[in-house]
Amino acid sequence: MDENKLIRECQKGKKESFNELIIKYYQFVLKFLIKLTENEEISQDLVQETFLKLIKNIEKYDVKGKASFSTYLIKIAKNTYIDYLRKNQKISSDIDIETLSDSSFIEEKIIDKNEFDIVLKEIEKLPFEQAEAIKLKYMEEYSLKEIAEKMGTKEKTVKSRIHDGKEKIKKKLKKGGGLYG
């Protein structure tokens, strides 16, 4: 069956289609997670969580959108893994966060949940436009174009706000002996 047709059927709630989709992508997601976790047992659990999230959020996938379904599914798996790390406070500097996300600014600097919380607090101290742009880019994973549309401004302006906000956070954390000090 055509993948897009299968996904549309899943979006209509057809259980048989979900089963087919899971069977089709199970090994793909499992291999991805084993690469990240280096632990098959944890990966098995994360695959289950990934597919549960997929089932709950299948309607959010745009069949006609620019992202392929496999990219969408890997994004869910990656976020499931990051959630697992946060819950278990196992984020450390030896984890290659670059492979997890394009949102490397925040995630590559996380050593543990406490430092993540410090970064979040610093983001909250930024002017609203900068904080909102950073949150939308790195936490919600919006594109610059999507953020510009949402904020009613140009992509260049969004890019500038993100850059300026990141620089302010870096300076603050260097001065305070945080992540960069």
Return the half-sphere exposure (C-beta side, CA atoms, 13 A cut-off) of residue 171: 7
Q: What is the pLDDT of residue 138?
A: 75
pTM over 0.85: no
Q: What is the mean pLDDT of the chain?
A: 80
Q: What is the pLDDT of residue 105?
A: 42
pLDDT along the chain (181 residues), means of 10: 86 90 91 87 94 91 82 88 79 43 41 59 88 81 88 93 90 66 43
Distance CA 60, CA 75 (A): 13
Tell me if 82 sits within 8 A of 28, measured CB to CB.
no
List pLDDT tens digits, range 88-137: 765 443 444 444 444 444 434 333 445 666 777 888 889 989 988 988 88
Q: What is the pLDDT of residue 104?
A: 43
CATH top-level class of 104-176: mainly alpha
Return the domain boundaries, the chain: 3-88, 104-176
Instruction: Enter the CATH code of domain 3-88.
Output: 1.10.1740.10
Q: What is the pLDDT of residue 116?
A: 63
DSSP per-residue letters across the chain: --HHHHHHHHHTT-HHHHHHHHHHHHHHHHHHHHHHHS-HHHHHHHHHHHHHHHHHHGGG--TTSSS-HHHHHHHHHHHHHHHHHHHTT---TTS-GGGT-S-HHHHTT-SSHHHHHHHHHHHHHS-HHHHHHHIIIIIS---HHHHHHHHTS-HHHHHHHHHHHHHHHHHHHHHHTSTT-
Tell me if 181 sits within 8 A of 173, measured CB to CB.
yes
Residue 140 backbone phi and psi in degrees, to 5: -95, -10
Q: What is the pLDDT of residue 176?
A: 63
Q: What is the pLDDT of residue 71?
A: 82
Q: What is the pLDDT of residue 69?
A: 86
